[in-house]
Amino acid sequence: MIETLGGALLIAIMRIADVTIGTFRTIMVVQGRKYQAAVAGFFEVLIWIFAMRFIVQHMDNMYNLLGYAIGFALGNVLGISLEQRVALGYVQVNIVSQQKTDSIAATLREKCFGVTILPGEGKSGEISILIAIIKRKFLKDLMITVESIDKRAFITVQTSHPYRGFMHGSRV
pLDDT bucket at 166, cuts 50 / 70 / 90: low
**Rounded average pLDDT over 137-153:** 96
For the chain, give the mean pLDDT: 90
Residue 31, pLDDT score: 83
**Rounded average pLDDT over 146-163:** 92
Task: Give the count of beta carbons closer than 10 Å to the beta carbon of residue 115.
Answer: 22
pLDDT bucket at 11, cuts 50 / 70 / 90: very high
- Containing 133, the helix (H) or strand (E) segment is strand 125-135
- Containing 13, the helix (H) or strand (E) segment is helix 2-30
Separation CA 50–CA 72 (nearest Å): 14
11: Cβ–Cβ under 8 A, 6 or more apart, which residues?
51, 54, 55, 64, 67, 68, 71
